[in-house]
């Protein structure tokens, strides 16, 4: 019997960069097997509504036991395991289709916030044990990463056996100097940390129902 599927997602480049480490991570993990769990991947556009729709379609297609969405945070210096998504769009810059949404909910009538259903502290510990700095983060922002995390958790509500959540990863050194506070991380290091997190997730088995 199959031990299930973990679906990972990454984002296309945005904000003038020609790379996004989260897409590179998703491509590197696609088709691998971790403790008997197959990893499937999807790359999302940095476009409001479309990104969440594409992830929902991938969830329907792959029927994953867990979904780990990923995105870039230029100000990160470690892999950030997000604990909460908020029902709010407040874009400081346009998405890749030129949309600038302000003071709008992600899902009309949805709860103000939704908690990650990943074992966040175990994921942080797993990455650190693999020698890759990681931390829990209380806010995924109010841009596309938060939107996708919120849509994901909203989609998985009522299905407690399926886990979902979001990781923000630092920029790649090749993307040039990071904004204030950010420390770029080489892709092989980020990949080692994320893989250790997925190993912990696969070893934890399905969430309790
Ligand atoms: N990071 C952005 C959107 C896409 C990405 O990789 C964010 O943090 O919202």
**Domains of the chain by residue range:** 5-204
Q: Is 82 a catalytic residue?
A: yes
Task: Answer whether CATH 3.40.630.20 is correct for domain 5-204.
Answer: yes
- Residue 1, pLDDT above cutoff 60: no
Which one from 40, 145, 147, 154 is the annotated catalytic residue?
Answer: 145
The 10s digit of each residue's pLDDT in 53-103 is 999 999 999 999 999 999 999 999 999 999 999 999 999 999 999 999 999
- Strand pairing class (113-115; 84-86): antiparallel
> Please, are residues 101 and 46 in contact by the beta-carbon 8 Å criterion?
no
Sign of CA dihedral 127, 174, 13, 143: positive
pLDDT tens profile 33-55: 999 999 999 999 999 999 999 99
Taking the alpha carbons of 100, 106, 109, 111 in that order, is the dihedral positive or negative?
Answer: negative
Ligand 1 pocket residues where CB is under 6 Å: 11, 14, 20, 22, 46, 71-73, 141, 143-145
């Amino acid at each position: 019997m199959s031990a299930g599927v973990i679906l990972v997602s990454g984002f296309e480049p945005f904000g003038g960069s020609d790379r996004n480490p989260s897409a590179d991570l998703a491509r590197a993990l696609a088709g691998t097997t971790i403790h008997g769990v197959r990893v499937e991947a999807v790359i999302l556009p940095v476009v409001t509504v479309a990104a969440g729709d594409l992830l929902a379609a991938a969830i329907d297609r792959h029927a994953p036991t867990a979904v780990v969405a990923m995105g870039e945070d230029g100000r990160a210096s470690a892999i950030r395991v997000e604990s909460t998504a908020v029902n709010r769009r407040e874009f400081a810059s346009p998405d890749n289709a030129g949309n600038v949404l302000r003071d709008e909910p992600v899902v009309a009538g949805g709860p103000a916030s939704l908690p990650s259903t990943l074992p966040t502290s175990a994921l942080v510990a797993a990455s650190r044990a693999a020698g890759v700095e990681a931390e829990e983060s209380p806010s995924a922002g109010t841009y596309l990463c938060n939107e996708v995390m919120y849509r994901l958790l909203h989609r998985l509500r009522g299905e407690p056996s399926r886990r979902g959540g979001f990781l923000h990863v630092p920029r790649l050194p090749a993307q040039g100097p990071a904004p204030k506070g950010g420390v770029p991380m080489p892709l092989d290091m980020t990949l080692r940390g994320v893989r250790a997190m997925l190993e912990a997730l696969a070893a934890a088995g399905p969430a309790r129902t």
